Amino acid sequence: MPLYNKLKEYRAKIDVNQQEMGQLVGVSRQTISQIERGDYSPSVTLALKIAKVFDVPVEEIFTWVEEEENKDAGAGREGSLRHER
């Protein structure tokens, strides 16, 4: 399940490094790095904590994109999220 994020961009807006971000939400710098690279999908709780730091809805930072093989089966369905790159 592709989960994209804008965590790095949001961190830059408030001038917080990965170590400081980890401390704010109770995880390691390595976890923040893995989230930003897309190597780790945070739990709902962690995603909500991250969004709260920036005072934005979680969807502002994290975007789920439907996988290609499922996209055709769900064509025309509303509510699927897309991330434009």
Per-residue pLDDT of 14-72, as tens digits, reads 999 999 999 999 999 999 999 999 999 999 999 999 999 999 999 999 998 887 655 55
With 0-12 / 13-18 / 19 or more C-beta atoms within 10 angstroms meaning exposed / middle / buried, residue 5 is buried
The reported pTM is 0.75
DSSP characters over 45-81: HHHHHHHHHHTS-HHHHEEE---HHHHTTTTT-TT--
Residue 5 pLDDT greater than 50, yes or no:
yes
Length of the chain equals 85
Residue 79 pLDDT greater than 70, yes or no:
no
Higher-scoring residue by pLDDT: 78, 48: 48
Q: What is the pLDDT of residue 10?
A: 98
Q: What is the pLDDT of residue 3?
A: 87
Token representation of residue 76: 């025309």
Residue ranges and CATH numbers for the domains of the chain are 3-63 (1.10.260.40)
Q: What is the pLDDT of residue 67?
A: 75
